[in-house]
Structure 1
Amino acid sequence: MEDKRLGEKFHKSNEQELRFTQEDRHEVFEQIRKLEKNNNKQKNSLMFSSKKFVPLTVSMLAVCLCLFLFIPLNFSGNVNKELNRSDASGTVVQEDELLTTLITVKAEEEDNRIPFNLLLTYSKNKKMMKVVSIPSETYAPIDNSDGTTMYDKLLFAYAFGSGGAENVRTAVSKLFDLPIDYYAVIDLKTFSTMVDAVNGIDYDLQEDTQVRAITSVGFDFKKGTNRLNGEEVVALMMAATDGRNLNEENLLHLILAVINKTESKMPQTQLKELMSQIETNLPLDQMLENKIDMNSIKSLSLSDGIRDDMKDGKYFIMFEKDYLKSVSEELTTFN
């Protein structure tokens, strides 16, 4: 939609000129980040924020449609991960069975970069889920094929080092010091096809909003109802990840908007066809047949722990180890 294209702030060249090199893109993104930094207060506290539980009762079909936000519960051979803690007497007490899943959006046309990563933990005992979105520019450990570890933006974990979905899972697992049971990597083109198939997603914004895009520099959204294509949905989710333009409430609202539209509009046969294109270790066929009753989802935000930094002329988002440890503890604690 023309009214949502990038405004004069970024439109100093035509569309052909926007397809610049990887180095140029890095420089532009870093300049945008500096502008955002100047317009927002620094967030140096190690205390992270979380929002209210959002009631959600949906079919597994609907959850799969929403960035494949799913947790396998009822198939044979599932992973049961028990957390054990000691009480005051030193006796080990079994506390919970947890499942962890990493949902990744990959932009194949942009050198297999991964602009969006969603880490989920699910308590089988409590039937509750926690969700945290990880900024793509996070300084993260990426495994090389020779067994060594390099540090770069999480954005490159799929393409760099040893590469692939397993490499992304390993990078996020090391970052949070948290085992990850399952992964699902969906290509941006596939997700866009899904959104296009239901004629876009309608989403209300409280004010005019400018966000970074993936295959172009950025998008301008007007206050009020916007009809979003697939990349625009992901772009807004990315903006909600670091809390600078939007917050984690927007992330949950976007998820619900996708669920509401796709559940009523997309045939299951079409869904299965699209899901066959996902790189995953999840048993998708069995999951499509199940229903899941999720009483609540709790969204966690990393925005309070963000520290902006430059290394070798490149912009990174940094987190203190103690802060990430506290996030991991929150992700795996269900009261």
Structure 2
Amino acid sequence: MEDKHVREKFYKTSEKELIFTQEDRHVVFEQIRTLEKKDKMQKKSLFSSPKRLAPLTVSLLAIGLCLFLFIPSIFVGTGNVQNELNKSDISGDAYQDDAILTTLITVKAKTEDNRIPLNLLLTYSKNKKMMKVLSIPSATYAPIKNMDGTTSNDKLLFAYAYGLGGAENVKATVSKLFNLPIDYYAVIDLETFSTFIHAVNGIDYDLQEDTRVRAITSVAFDFQKGTNRLNGEEVVALMMAATDGRNLSEENLLHLIHAVSNKMENEMPEEQLKELLSQIETNLPLDQLLEQNLEIKSIESLSLSAGTRDDMIDGKYYVMFEEEYLKTVAEELLIFN
């Protein structure tokens, strides 16, 4: 009952009002540590056990949305931006000259002051046809550029709206956080994503138990054990919950991606797909995106939960990471065996 009381406290507090007293801080973090202890008992390495999906070959035209959202596009004749990486920044044998491309996928809530609740960092090996996915917590303490060129740390959640603002600023923030060049970005409004999901009559998804997760435009979502028909915001909310693995196991991130991919491939009309894709803010050329095919032998999900530290700064809650830990994660993103 006490755990439930603490979670209720989170859900009934907006981001703008998320300020705690010293007593609140002690109670909340004690509960978080208790929950994390149970999770970490099952962890055997620096990262949570990687989850992989079976090999697949996809058509960007047939499944354009989910590829645009979740899979980096590989363009024939496009220069390899990864060559710009300063190899001395990556220690040992971590860096591989393996035609690795990086993509940042961001979901933006326009009605919530352009906050960005979901950020997926992907790396793809063109030679080995393998991809890695990393979901970054929205409360991550991150360096955001200001209008005058200086940098201030705040939640990644605000990188689109604050400072210099926009998609380029989100890309620069994540790149600086991991000291890793990012080739491409795509920012999609939550409303547009919801339109995609509505067009295919929602996503059916099985949950192993009753689950409550924090929502974006409302307080929270309550899901029952078994099959749930999800709308766009519910899909994103479950992905957010799977990012830290507290309310929902981390393996759900890839399962949700797979569920969206299958539905889009089978049910999204081509003309509607093209129209909705044109609403995405990106540095990827749409005409090339729709012409390519991409073969993926495996998709692996990495986790940041083993290095997560919850902290308070000036009465506000943040997710913190040590610089060395993030460097190790960046190296792992570039290794394809």
Q: Same fold (TM over 0.5)?
A: yes
Report what 2:248 is aligned to. Answer: 246
* Equivalent pairs, count: 315
Are 1:124 and 2:119 matched, yes or no?
no
Give the C-alpha shift of residue 243 in structure 1: 1.2
CA distance in 2, matches of 1:147, 1:232: 36
Contact 1:104-1:117 within 8 A present in 2 as well: yes
What is the aligned partner in structure 1 of residue 144 from structure 2? Answer: 142
Look up the match of 2:80: 79
1:187 counterpart (189, 194, 200): 189
Q: Is the 8 A contact 1:65 1:262 kept in 2?
A: yes
* Between 199-208 and 36-45, the greater mean CA deviation after superposition: 36-45
Counterpart residue number, 2:309: 307
Please tell me whether the aligned partners of residues 192 and 229 of structure 1 are also in contact (alpha carbons under 8 angstroms).
yes
| 1:14 counterpart residue number | none
* CA–CA distance in structure 2, aligned partners of residues 272 and 125 of structure 1: 29
Quote how far apart the aligned CAs of 1:96 are: 1.3
Distance 1:35-1:251 versus aligned 2 partners, 3 A rule: farther
In the alignment, which residue of structure 2 is the partner of 1:5?
none
Report if the CA contact (8 A) 1:133-1:301 is conserved: yes
Shift of 1:137: 0.2
Q: Output one character per residue of 1:239-290: Cα deviation in whole Å (capped at 9) or x when no partner.
A: 0001111233100000011011111111111011111111100112211122
Secondary structure class of the residue paired with 1:299: strand
**Residue range with higher mean Cα deviation, 51-60 or 217-226:** 51-60
Q: Distance in 2 between matches of 1:326 and 1:94?
A: 15
Could you give the per-residue CA deviations for residues 174-220 of structure 1, whole angstroms, max 9, x where no partner exists?
11000000000000000001001111000000000010000011111
Cα distance in structure 2, aligned partners of 1:111 and 1:196: 23
**Matching residue of 2:214:** 212
What is residue 35 of structure 2 aligned with on the other side?
A: 40
1:60 is the counterpart of 2:60:
yes
CA distance in structure 2 between the partners assigned to 1:173 and 1:133 by the alignment = 14
Is the contact between residue 118 and residue 135 of structure 2 (CA under 8 Å) also seen in structure 1?
yes
* Secondary structure, counterpart of 2:64 in structure 1: helix
Could you tell me which amino acid in structure 2 is paired with residue 76 of structure 1? G
CA RMSD of aligned residues (A): 2.9
Q: Which amino acid aligns with 1:81?
A: Q
Output the CA distance in 1 between the equivalents of 2:183 and 2:310.
30
For residues 280 and 85 of structure 1, the distance between their equivalents in structure 2, rounded to whole angstroms, comes to 27
- List per-residue Cα deviations over 1:204-237 (Å, max 9, x = no partner): 0000001000001111100000000000000000
Distance 1:276 1:36, change over 3 A: farther
Q: Quick one: structure 1 residues 285 and 36, their matched pair in 2 at CA, closer, same or farther if it must change by over 3 Å?
A: farther
Which residue number corresponds to residue 166 of structure 2? Answer: 164
Indicate the residue corresponding to 2:4 in structure 1.
none
Q: Which moved more, 1:122-131 or 1:179-188?
A: 122-131
Normalised by the length of structure 1, the TM-score is 0.86
Query: Which stretches of structure 1, 4 residues or more, deviate above 6 A after TM superposition?
Result: 30-33, 43-46, 83-86
Q: CA deviation at 1:51?
A: 1.4
Distance 1:72 1:247 in 2: 28
Distance 1:176 1:195 in 2: 31
Amino acid at match of 2:76: F
CA distance in 2, matches of 1:107, 1:327: 27
Q: Hey, what's the Cα distance between the residues in 1 that align with 2:246 and 2:109?
A: 23
For the residues of structure 2 that align with 1:100 and 1:153, how far apart are their CA atoms? 22
Verify the 8 A CA contact 1:84 1:95 in the aligned structure 2: no
Specify the code of the residue in structure 2 equivalent to 1:69: F
- When the two structures are superposed, what TM-score results if normalisation uses the length of structure 2? 0.85
Could you tell which deviates more after superposition, 199-208 or 242-251? 242-251
- 8 Å CA contact retained: 1:210, 1:220: yes
Check 1:160–1:120 CA distance in 2 against 1; reply closer, same or farther (3 A cut): same
- In structure 1, C-alpha distance between the alignment counterparts of 2:243 and 2:184, rounded to whole Å: 21
Q: Is the 8 A contact 1:107 1:115 kept in 2?
A: yes
Measure how far apart 1:70 and its partner are.
2.6
Whether the 8 Å CA contact 1:81–1:97 is kept in 2: the answer is: yes
Letter in 1 for 2:284: L
1:294 to 288, 291, 296: 296
8 Å Cα contact 1:103-1:117 kept in structure 2:
yes
Structure-2 change in CA distance of 1:274 and 1:296 (3 Å): same
Give me the whole-angstrom Cα distance separating, in 2, the residues matched to 1:54 and 1:21. Answer: 35
What letter corresponds to residue 301 of structure 1 in structure 2? S
Note the C-alpha offset of 1:97. Answer: 1.2
One-letter code of the match for 1:329? E
Quote the Cα distance in structure 1 between the aligned partners of 2:123 and 2:146: 27
* Maintained 8 Å contact 2:51/2:254: no
Whole-Å separation in 2 of the counterparts to 1:270 and 1:161: 35
Gaps of 5+ in 1: 1-8, 12-17
The alignment-based identity, stated in percent, is: 65
CA offset digits 1:142-195 (Å, max 9, x no partner): 000101000000000000011000000001001100000000000000000100
